[in-house]
Structure 1
């Protein structure tokens, strides 16, 4: 930007463009500020909508405590219906909070995204 200002000073014929350049610089600064504000707003909405309900969180907490969990074990530990656990596991698998065990697809492990979710909410030690 300095070279443009220097050019405007050195070349008299370019002087009429100074006002346009200054207006563009102000507009650019305003757009950068608006962009920063909108990015903060987006982050707020992502955090707001990236929340799970209690049974889903308890499922993640259980899987964080054990190496791998079977839906029946999770249902028993969380004292909920097996169908609810299976439904949540499907949802959590789709969102990549959990993954199926490499050795046995009937068992589930918590994924890095699931651990990060718990840590960010203070539900699991860092």
Structure 2
């Protein structure tokens, strides 16, 4: 970039380009600052997207205490109906908070992300 600046200073006919270059340098600095601000804002929002409600958290807490969790047992422990538990398990699997059994059985276990979620909130 220095060679461009030197050339623009040495050649009088390049004066209009010097102003453009200075404008681009300012714009670049402003965009870098805005990018940093937006990155900070995104870093603040990302954890908020992973916020779970009470029944989902209770499901994670249950799964953190057992090796394998079955929907009827989870429903009984959380005192909710089985359909609610099943819908939360689908959501938790999609969010990678829990893993379903690989062999097609109807049991679930907490993932590392699920454990980290509980630890970060002082629930484990």
TM-score, length of structure 2 as denominator length: 0.81
For residues 3 and 119 of structure 1, what CA distance do their matches in structure 2 show? 54
Unpaired segments ≥5 residues, structure 2:
none
Task: Let me know the Cα RMSD of the aligned residues.
Answer: 2.1
Q: 5 Å matches for 1:83-94?
A: 83-94=83-94
1:65 equivalent in structure 2 = 65
Structure 1 residues 6, 101: closer, same or farther in 2, change over 3 A? same
For residues 103 and 65 of structure 1, what CA distance do their matches in structure 2 show? 22
1:40 equivalent in structure 2 = 40
For residues 121 and 24 of structure 2, what CA distance do their matches in structure 1 show? 43
Question: Which deviates more, 10-19 or 37-46?
Answer: 10-19
2:117 equivalent in structure 1 = 117
Unpaired segments ≥5 residues, structure 1:
none
Structure 1 residues 89, 11: closer, same or farther in 2, change over 3 A? same
Q: 5 Å matches for 1:68-107?
A: 68-107=68-107
Question: Which deviates more, 16-25 or 76-85?
Answer: 76-85
Matched, 1:29 2:35: no
For residues 63 and 3 of structure 1, what CA distance do their matches in structure 2 show? 63
2:56 equivalent in structure 1 = 56
Question: Which deviates more, 75-84 or 24-33?
Answer: 75-84
For residues 104 and 123 of structure 1, what CA distance do their matches in structure 2 show? 29
For residues 114 and 3 of structure 1, what CA distance do their matches in structure 2 show? 54
Question: Which deviates more, 27-36 or 112-121?
Answer: 112-121
For residues 116 and 44 of structure 1, what CA distance do their matches in structure 2 show? 17
TM-score, length of structure 1 as denominator length: 0.80
